[in-house]
Structures are given as C-alpha cells and as structure tokens.
Structure 1
Amino acid sequence: MQVAILGCGYVGIALGVQLTDAGHDVVGVRRSDAGLDAIEAAGFDAVRADLTDSASLSAVPDADWMVYAASAGGRGADAARTAYVDGLRTVVETLGARPSPPDRLVYTSSTGIYGDHGGDWVDESTVPEPATDRQRTLLEAEEIALEETAARGIDGTVVRFGGLYGPDRYRMDRYLDGPVTEGYLNSIHRDDAAGVVAHLLTTDRARGEVVLAVDDDPVSKWAFADWLAEQCGVSPPAKQTVAERAATEGEVSRRVRASKRCANDRLHELGYDLRYPSVRGGFRPAIEAFRAD
C-alpha cells in the first residue's frame, strides 16, 4: 500500500520503519529540515509540506492510507488548534478531494480527553470530559477524523495514546528526583504506539472506531517511582498528594489533577500483542544505561 504519514515525528518515524519493513511504500511529511533529515535517516521517503496549507499539500503523493500524527509540542492552545484541527481539516479536505483519495485515515489522539475520573477505569465507551482548551481541541479533531472523513468516503480511526515513552523520552529525573505527585501512569512505548497503528491498518480493523492504545499496567506513580529507584540503586524519591503540591505551588494544572486508569480490552480484542505490556519492562534500557553511568 501507499502510505502518507503526516506530521512524521517521534511515533511517525517508528511507524514508517515498521510499514516499510512490511513492504509498504511510505512517505513521511514534515516541513522542517531537521524533520526531513530524520525521516530520510530512518530509511524512507520524506516530503516537505505545511499541513495547514492546501497548496503545499500538492507535494504529497496519492496514498491508500494516511496517518495524521502531527504534534503541537508543549505550546499553547492556539498552536494546538493549528496542529490538530486546522491541519487535519485541511488535509482531509485537500487529499479527500483528489481523484484517488485515501481509503483510510488514522488520527493519533490522547487519553487526556477523558479528564479526571478519580482513579476509576475508563474505556472507549466512557464519555470524554475534557477540562482544558487543549483537550477540547483534541476532541474536536477526533470529530473531524471520524465525521468529515466519512462525508468524503474515507474511513477514519481515532487512536488515543497514553503517555508516550521510549528512546530519548524516558525522563528518568521526573521519577527519581521527586517529588512525585500521586495518580496513575497510563503509558505506551513508542514502538507499541507505532505498532498499534500499523496493526490496525494492515489487518484492516477498527474502521470508524475509537481505540485506546495503552499498556496493560496503569501503575501508581508512587509505586513506579519506588520500583524505579530500587532498580537504579538510589533512594526512593519524595512523594506528594495533589493537595500538598497545591499548597506549595498554588493552582495545580488540571492535567496533574487528572487521575484515571485506561483499559485496553478493545486493543486486545483487535488482536494486537504488546511488545511492552508494562512500563517496568519498557524502562529496562533506561535503567541499564543509568546504572552504567
């Protein structure tokens, strides 16, 4: 199949490698020189385009499948709207109007749209309760991915990723230095994030669906921090409740206060086998590197 990965960054490059290895023709789309160089270094074709500019998208070749994996990074709500809503709508309208439009779109979203559930379980049937402008923007983009695609004869799929980690994103100091705020980690390794998207495309599953992509172990942040410290041979970090953090910092962000456990039953029903079912296994390379220093 011909595949276009739009916003081909941390997950997109890993996805491109997996799909290329499986025999598909893949193009990664970025607009920066550094992004294009990273795609080419990974071994598949790179195309420069601005996802919010219809004319710029003419550089993107026709594709059977497109994956929208653009990120706004840590920037504010306006940047998030540009990346997730404006960019996705422009891509759907532009590529969907071609004589040979894509058959499928996979849009990568976030479990952050659920908001706070007091530590209770959530799944695909749980009604999202976005608490921030960024989370509301993500939910609006999901509607584009499912509804505006359908109007153009494209089958959309939304994949809600948990917290991404993996090479260059272990952030060990967050857990070892402390203080660690209470709550749960709903995580997925980068290679599994890419693997889920590749699996849904190549097995032709989850058309028109929302799928949670998280590992099997929504572990307590405190328990994980203590385990990680033990594995690294250092003292456990200090812990704090949300109330304690608020007492020292003032207003605590809604992202920090959000607590939930994300269930991945549907992911297993769809036949995906996690490479890293738990962050404990996924963090092993980072632990070994820490102990070797």
Structure 2
Amino acid sequence: MYKRQIYVRGLETAIEQFAGREHPPERLVYTSSTGVYGDHGGDWVDEATPTEPTTEKTRVLREAEEIALGSPIEGTVVRFAGLYGPERYRLERYLEGPVTEGYLNMLHRDDAAGVIRYLLEEDLARGEVVLAVDDEPVGKWGFADWLAEQCGLPAPPKETKTERLSEPNLSEPARRRIETSKRCSNAKLGELGYEFSYPTFREGYREAVTAYSSR
C-alpha cells in the first residue's frame, strides 16, 4: 500500500496538478524499471516483451506506467536498467565475492540523464516505452573477473544460484533478485539515435578502477 501511494497516487496527483495549469507541460517522461519484466531465464527482452512483475514494487511501477501512457500530458515511459556511477559503484562487492551467477543489465547515471534529455530535446517516443540499458548485458561472473583483472587482484569466489538460494535466512527480496534473470536490449534506443557516453561497463567503471588502483 505504501509503495502504491508513492508510485501510483503520487503520479496521479502530479499529473492532475500539472495538467490543470493554464499552460500545462507538453511532455511527461516517467522513469520505470526493467524489473517489470520479471524472470525470463536469461533470454533477451525488449519493449515488446510481455511484462511479468513479481514484487509489490514492480507491480505498482507497471500500474504507474499505464497511468503515464494514458495521461492527458503526452507520456513516455523509460525503463531503466540498474544505474551505477560515482557513489553507486559496487566495486568491493564484486571484488570480494562470493559472486552469484546471473546477468547484469546496467546504465551509467550520466546516460540515464542523457536519455531523458535526448528524448525531450529531440521530441521522440511520445506515447511509447523505451528500454534504457547499455550495449552489453554481462554475466556477473565475467564482470567480477574483469574487475579483478583490472584491479590486479585474483578472481573472486563464485557461487551458483542453487548454492546461494540454499543459504539460511535469505530474504524474499534477495531470493527474487537471484531467481530473476534476463538480458535487456537497447536496439530501440539505438534506432532513435541516442549515443552513449558509457556504452559498456568497461568505460563506465574506468573511474572506479582507477580510484581503487591508486589507493
């Protein structure tokens, strides 16, 4: 109920207030999450893939998406992958391990802002959904090994999903994250002409790797 008050009722109130102005805004961009897709067993998903939200938060996000797309202010829904960047890097987590298998879909925070700005300035994707993710979804094990190599450290310990799920006291949100696997496509964003500042994790994590190596 609390999440619905924030994501659904909050959006409805904002639309009501802005749409009622003498000069209402022409565009609404609602930022959602790739979490609305649920689990796809590591398969690719795009804007045409049916959503299957599995948590309270992703269910209300999906409801809010429909409100945005049906708004009197013409709406666009941007589904963000996992955001990272300064103060949002998870370097130590992946360097120390253990790292559970699965895929990472990521987007640098500068590109998150860049996508919104681009869609507004170029007046694109009115009434549409756009998936915002970088060029290369990556396996967590491969990502962790790359980070370790770049930092001059041995590869971190790994664990399978089965091993992780068998651990006692695993929270339900953590369980759902582990069980949820997919690779998100940015083909539509590319067709719209957006150019990434950080097209993959290699460019995006360079700052974090440099800072870690210079400690």
TM (normalized to structure 2)? Answer: 0.96
Q: How many percent identity over aligned positions?
A: 61
Structure 2 unmatched runs, 5+:
none
By relative contact order (CA 8 Å, sep 6+), the higher-ranking structure is 2
| Cα-to-partner distance string for 1:179-236 (whole Å, 9 max, x where unaligned) | 1111111000000000000000000000000000000000111000001011011121
Once the two structures are TM-superposed, the CA of residue 241 in structure 1 deviates from its matched residue by: 1.3
Which residue does the alignment assign to 1:278?
A: 200
Equivalent residue for 1:13? none
Determine the structure 1 residue equivalent to 2:16. 93
In the TM superposition, 1:77-116 aligns within 5 A as: 78-116=1-39
Aligned equivalents of 2:163, 2:120: Cα separation in 1: 45
Structure 2 residue matching 1:87: 3-state secondary structure: helix
Match of 2:65 in 1: 142
State the alpha-carbon separation in 2 of the partners of residues 129 and 250 from structure 1.
26
| Cα distance, 1:82 vs structure 2 | 2.7
Aligned to 1:268: 190
Task: Give 3-state SS (helix, strand or coil) of 2:30's partner.
Answer: strand
User: Are 2:30 and 2:76, in contact at CA under 8 Å, matched by a contact in 1?
Assistant: yes
| Pairwise CA RMSD | 1.1
Runs of 4+ in 1 over 6 A off after TM superposition: none
What are the equivalent positions in structure 2 for 1:54-203 lying under 5 Å apart? 78-147=1-70, 149=71, 152=72, 154-203=73-122
Instruction: Return 5+ residue gaps in structure 1 as ranges.
Output: 1-77
Tell me how far apart the structure 1 counterparts of residues 84 and 123 of structure 2 sit (CA, whole Å): 26
Report deviation, 1:130: 0.4
Is 123-132 or 93-102 further displaced after alignment? 93-102
- Alignment match of 1:229 (pick from 132, 148, 158): 148
Aligned residues: 212
SS of aligned partner of 1:107: strand
**Structure 1 length as normaliser, TM-score?**
0.71
Question: After superposition, what is the alpha-carbon deviation per residue over 1:165-191, rounded to whole angstroms, capped at 9, x for unaligned?
Answer: 001111212211111111111000000
